[in-house]
Amino acid sequence: MRWALIGASTIADGPMVGAIRAQGGTVGWIVSGSQARAQDFAARHGGQATTEMDRALADPTVGAVYISSTNEKHFPQAMAAIAAGKAVLCEKPLAMTVDQAAIMVRAAADKGVTFATNHHLRCAGSHRAIKALIDAGRIGRILSVRVHHAVFLPPVLQGWRISAPEAGGGVIADITVHDADTVRFHLGEDPVAVVAQATVSGLGQGVEDSCMSVWSMPSGAQVFAHESFTHAHAGTGIEFHGTEGSILARNVMTQRPVGEIELVTSRGREAIGFAAADLYTTGLGAFLEAVAGRGRPAADGVDGLKSLAVAAAVRQAATTGLRTQVAYAGF
């Protein structure tokens, strides 16, 4: 697959170029707002450098577009790529609003192109092992989920994320969307309503850098989610508590194939092993299979819309102090 990368971003520069190569693909174009940044990127990874997205989209040898610009650009860039008939892998959050995401999903369906969201956690061996335990009924009916996703934002990323609401900054747009997708992946149901509080705890300049929320699920399960940019030593984790047991997973809300999983039941404690494949390579592989007409992406456009809808509800709940219904724009 020959790719056009839109956004000379940190994630494109590292994990995603690595995943493209691992799947046998090449960088055809790198599109940036800065010609110098595009050239610098192309010097490292190959491809033609441009500031004009239309040039890359007009190239008939480009089959797929990966969008990893700042969040406010995802909508117009994805719409242009879809209109050009390219398969699109878009970063989360898909857009600034759920309505925009709905337009993207419908446009891709009308055009008949693959449209996917780069939610990497459902590609982790750890999360697939957890889901297998849940699906096999090993912990019975799920009563509650606790998501610990409070990290310290590396200095290199302390730019628009902590200072630019107009670019989609803030921890809710950045991390709550991942937690929403991960919980949806495991439970197979969509949050109905949320309560939330957000705050600034050391890094945010005009945006929240920490958030706690509680979501109610159709099954009656309760979900507690904690996201932050300011917690240097907390580590991450996810816990599922059911009528027959609990799954305790540490260090699994991460970009790397690491962590520990423990199943606790009346029979005792059991360490659960899992595959250590690269998350982004796995996700890209599923995307390429979907483009080839085999199966679906790990997370499709509707998954991206729904994770954004949960984040939007959390933001609204934190702003108003009110219990807020999650609105999925008809999806």
- Which residues are at the interface with ligand NDP (CB under 6 A)? 7-11, 32-34, 37, 68-71, 91-92, 118, 120, 157, 159, 174, 255
Q: Which is nearer to ligand NDP, 69 or 210 (CB)?
A: 69
The CA distances from residue 25 to 4, 12, 53, 124, in Å, are 11, 14, 20, 21
SS3 75: helix
By the 10 Å C-beta count (0-12 exposed, 13-18 middle, 19+ buried), 77 is classed as buried
Instruction: Report the DSSP pairing between strands 210-216 and 193-199.
Output: antiparallel
Instruction: Report the DSSP pairing between strands 193-199 and 142-150.
Output: unpaired
- Choose among 304, 240, 254, 305: nearest CA to 99: 305
CB 79, min distance to ligand NDP, A: 16
CB 34, min distance to ligand NDP, A: 6
Measured from the Cβ of residue 80, the count of other Cβ atoms closer than 10 Å reads: 18
CB 280, min distance to ligand NDP, A: 7
Task: Give yes or no for a contact between 100 and 285, defined as CB atoms under 8 angstroms apart.
Answer: no
Q: Which is nearer to ligand NDP, 114 or 307 (CB)?
A: 307
Q: Which is nearer to ligand NDP, 139 or 278 (CB)?
A: 278
Q: Which is nearer to ligand NDP, 105 or 214 (CB)?
A: 105
User: Which ranges constitute the DSSP H helices of 7-97?
Assistant: 10-11, 17-22, 35-45, 53-57, 74-83
CB 325, min distance to ligand NDP, A: 25
Q: Which is nearer to ligand NDP, 217 or 253 (CB)?
A: 253
CB 267, min distance to ligand NDP, A: 36
Q: Which is nearer to ligand NDP, 34 or 243 (CB)?
A: 34
Q: Is the peptide bond before 76 cis (omega within 30 degrees of 0)?
A: no
CB 112, min distance to ligand NDP, A: 25
